[in-house]
Structure 1
């Protein structure tokens, strides 16, 4: 038995996990490890606090962005199949694969963005919120209406939406829904019988009672709030896979051993490093390297050994997987709080130290002062993704950025003088769609819970009857993330509303205020288009 497997089966490991769960407010956690062909797993804590249901290795979790590895592997299957899909290659131009559908704004993007650009977060696209109901095709066709945030291949910019675009490429080329493709090409061959795309699909299969309840810790109330994982069809490919550690470890084992649907060529395409996540080499510690992004998999070196993996965070759920190719060792951690991803990164260090034979006195976890601090920029990304502001692509502090805009924090708030009714109405952006400004509790308010990662905005006046702070609250977790907001007047009439909806963009997103007659026409049109987009997603 290897040192890592020995440690996993020791009394020390569950004690360590339980301590971390308590420190990070994670009600339940499951862990599975694999080395060569040996697999072991166990569960900790509760899947449901209300019903006191224990977590087991078969408990189902939303694994969020850990799903990206399966999406990239799905693309890899098409790349590997030159007989049926000769045009699908990593260096293939997306607009040639999806003519008329894949169109990006600006010069050079539509003509040059490739398959591997969208899989390695270097397309230049920011990460806006989709509006429901959307599907993979409508998300793809909406790219033309969204701003880009950087020149092509110049910067790592994590973009969930491009992974949804990747699933549309799969659907368009195979004639299957992405769900059916995953089922036929991965879930069935790897005997991942409990795994589904979207929570509702798991419930239809009869697994509803095995899905863990997601939890967020409310510091003020000193209590958990619980909620069920929602379906996010417009985010497929970026996340929304529901699985257990016993199931997912089968996929990880296939990656490690390059078996089943994972050929050697497919594996090499997935792990080829394409983008530096932190080219400035900040936050590096001795023994670690910069984080690099391959395709649905992150890579870094620790003490000279390659470590591959990914984390996943959505409200109520956090996960992390990693593997060391040199030792054919891997681990998957899933929890029913976002901090499950943090625990995964901490356990990763301890398990890796055991695998590569680091003396116990040098084990990272023994330094209590650093026990929950990021060791590398890659770990910093994990901790940042746990913050709703960063995870959603919002600017948490609205710091001045390249002189383009400044935070409202430094401005002394002034009283609201204009009637709030002056600002009310429907505001429209072709890419971000509609936002309806209304009054709630004597404040301007937007209910945007119809979106894939729903939120609400409550406005506080700051200066000049035009500048506001919009407080964003997640529709599941709550919270308060301040965003800059601004209104433009023509005479006494509001004509535009600007929101700092993406920290990657230097400028606000500007929404045009619609006339009342246009509002009714637009809302009717959106309803019709929405129905059509849902229908168009039913690809078999």
Structure 2
């Protein structure tokens, strides 16, 4: 606590914000029954709005701890005796929870859903439709679409992070309690913990008159040295996996409840949340000194540092990053919320510094202060990269087949329809109606059928490695399109051209 309140900590926060181009950070800490908090920088740059500990942020995947706790409350509740961690999901949701094979359908349990052991892949995020779609998804439709999405590995063979399974968990809650997940959160968690500014979805926060406290997300444009600002998105189709909007002052109450087993978090609920279930990285690649491999519990990650258990989670969506942790043995915890991609690196560095201070690591044994930037600058300048791209363009075989032969709508049961268009003399897919909006730009690679599709998230940089893409022709016209939307699945995901397109 003393370190958090010191001028040295404030200086470090400001340094990291500048290094990582973060407009605003909000931080709160808890030590036993004492809390403290502060805001730094700006919640919004235009207009200029200061960031405070009451500024509201989309905390993305840090929300998963609340979803897992919601399930844990039902496990403890005698009114729902059928909901147990080892209960098969297909028995709880017999009409809705159907996987691509009987083995997965009958074998996946509540525990598997909460610990990312279902063998689904997170990039299936691109399969569900956001509010801008003609037919948006919800928790039930996301659950029912599982039957159309191939698994990436044998059941429980590996930890594969899967957002949609947390949305499936909220469908279970809604089906059993007969109330929206947002109402369940408010009644069972937010109200008892006096998290009076917390909501599910930005729209709900605005409905409650809290819109002027919501931070803008930001993307740093290196070419112009400016920030692009945008609001956090509403993602009802992704509830449970993310989309909780909260403040540092509110969320530290949640951390304190976990530390103190404060109602509604009983000892039994807590033990269900922190029980170790899976290994995200069994090879322990890049393991830092004095640190154990990460372990996944239920909506919480656990590792050991210098003999101390560190429990928490982080979150990331375009324009926002969050991180929280607590030390069960030391009664200390912290929350760091930021409104730019670079806030992730800043939060990681600050959380390590707070852990070191809480457990009494001598200054000489702490990491050098030069660390903590989002990523190392690449050796090539932007101009050099552009030159390399131009060189690759000239080396590619020419596009001979008319682009009109590829244009049309292509259908896959799990991913629904993708419309291939022409934009700037390139084949192009606009996927901004998806939950995690994106675009694909196709570059010809070989045989007029093989392409590299450059993937770009809304508001974030284009991915460096293009996706494999392929077309199958009949009678001079493309009739199938394959896209490698899942790195862990060897085969392309195939789409059939829709009749009449």
TM-score (norm 1): 0.86
**In the alignment, what sits opposite 1:101?**
96
- How far is the alpha carbon of 1:79 from its aligned partner? 0.5
> Whole-Å Cα distance in 1 between the matches of residues 288 and 220 of structure 2?
31
Please tell me whether the aligned partners of residues 411 and 463 of structure 1 are also in contact (alpha carbons under 8 angstroms). no
**In the alignment, what sits opposite 2:419?**
436
Partner-residue secondary structure (3-state), 1:6: coil
Please tell me whether the aligned partners of residues 104 and 155 of structure 2 are also in contact (alpha carbons under 8 angstroms). yes
**In the alignment, what sits opposite 1:357?**
360
Find 1:6's aligned residue among 2, 7, 17.
Answer: 2
471-480 or 108-117, which deviates more: 471-480
**In the alignment, what sits opposite 2:498?**
514
333-342 or 234-243, which deviates more: 333-342
Q: How do 1:381-396 and structure 2 match up within 5 A? A: none
Partner-residue secondary structure (3-state), 2:290: coil
- How far is the alpha carbon of 1:120 from its aligned partner? 0.4
> Whole-Å Cα distance in 1 between the matches of residues 113 and 85 of structure 2?
10
**In the alignment, what sits opposite 2:176?**
173
**In the alignment, what sits opposite 2:121?**
126
Q: How do 1:112-511 and structure 2 match up within 5 A? A: 112-127=107-122, 128=124, 129=126, 130-132=128-130, 133-364=136-367, 366=368, 368=370, 370-372=371-373, 412-481=395-464, 482-511=466-495
- How far is the alpha carbon of 1:106 from its aligned partner? 2.5
> Whole-Å Cα distance in 2 between the matches of residues 479 and 54 of structure 1?
30
> Whole-Å Cα distance in 2 between the matches of residues 332 and 498 of structure 1?
42
- How far is the alpha carbon of 1:457 from its aligned partner? 1.1
Please tell me whether the aligned partners of residues 19 and 373 of structure 2 are also in contact (alpha carbons under 8 angstroms). no
- How far is the alpha carbon of 1:340 from its aligned partner? 1.8
> Whole-Å Cα distance in 2 between the matches of residues 221 and 445 of structure 1?
26
**In the alignment, what sits opposite 1:399?**
none
Please tell me whether the aligned partners of residues 412 and 462 of structure 1 are also in contact (alpha carbons under 8 angstroms). no
Please tell me whether the aligned partners of residues 129 and 137 of structure 2 are also in contact (alpha carbons under 8 angstroms). yes
- How far is the alpha carbon of 1:85 from its aligned partner? 0.5
Answering whether residue 16 of structure 2 is matched by residue 16 of structure 1, we say: no
Over 3 Å counting, the alpha-carbon distance change for 1:117 and 1:361 in structure 2 is same
TM-score (norm 2): 0.93
- How far is the alpha carbon of 1:367 from its aligned partner? 5.5
Please tell me whether the aligned partners of residues 496 and 510 of structure 1 are also in contact (alpha carbons under 8 angstroms). yes
> Whole-Å Cα distance in 1 between the matches of residues 346 and 113 of structure 2?
29
- How far is the alpha carbon of 1:371 from its aligned partner? 4.3
Over 3 Å counting, the alpha-carbon distance change for 1:355 and 1:284 in structure 2 is same
Gaps of 5+ in 2: 131-135, 376-391
After TM superposition, the runs of 4+ consecutive aligned structure 1 residues lying more than 3 A away are 370-373, 409-412
Partner-residue secondary structure (3-state), 1:92: coil
Please tell me whether the aligned partners of residues 234 and 452 of structure 1 are also in contact (alpha carbons under 8 angstroms). yes
Gaps of 5+ in 1: 374-382, 384-408, 520-540
> Whole-Å Cα distance in 2 between the matches of residues 496 and 486 of structure 1?
8
- How far is the alpha carbon of 1:495 from its aligned partner? 1.2
| Alpha-carbon RMSD | 1.6
Please tell me whether the aligned partners of residues 32 and 39 of structure 1 are also in contact (alpha carbons under 8 angstroms). yes
**In the alignment, what sits opposite 1:386?**
none
> Whole-Å Cα distance in 2 between the matches of residues 260 and 64 of structure 1?
24
Please tell me whether the aligned partners of residues 16 and 372 of structure 2 are also in contact (alpha carbons under 8 angstroms). no
- How far is the alpha carbon of 1:479 from its aligned partner? 2.6
Count of residues in correspondence between the two structures: 477
- How far is the alpha carbon of 1:221 from its aligned partner? 2.4
Partner-residue secondary structure (3-state), 2:158: coil
Please tell me whether the aligned partners of residues 31 and 331 of structure 1 are also in contact (alpha carbons under 8 angstroms). yes
Q: How do 1:39-50 and structure 2 match up within 5 A? A: 39-50=35-46
> Whole-Å Cα distance in 2 between the matches of residues 514 and 78 of structure 1?
44
> Whole-Å Cα distance in 1 between the matches of residues 446 and 332 of structure 2?
57
> Whole-Å Cα distance in 2 between the matches of residues 85 and 504 of structure 1?
36
Please tell me whether the aligned partners of residues 498 and 508 of structure 1 are also in contact (alpha carbons under 8 angstroms). yes
322-331 or 342-351, which deviates more: 342-351
> Whole-Å Cα distance in 1 between the matches of residues 297 and 200 of structure 2?
23
Find 1:29's aligned residue among 4, 16, 25.
Answer: 25
Partner-residue secondary structure (3-state), 1:283: coil
Please tell me whether the aligned partners of residues 473 and 479 of structure 1 are also in contact (alpha carbons under 8 angstroms). yes
Partner-residue secondary structure (3-state), 2:61: helix
> Whole-Å Cα distance in 1 between the matches of residues 75 and 344 of structure 2?
31
> Whole-Å Cα distance in 2 between the matches of residues 58 and 285 of structure 1?
34
Please tell me whether the aligned partners of residues 131 and 433 of structure 1 are also in contact (alpha carbons under 8 angstroms). no
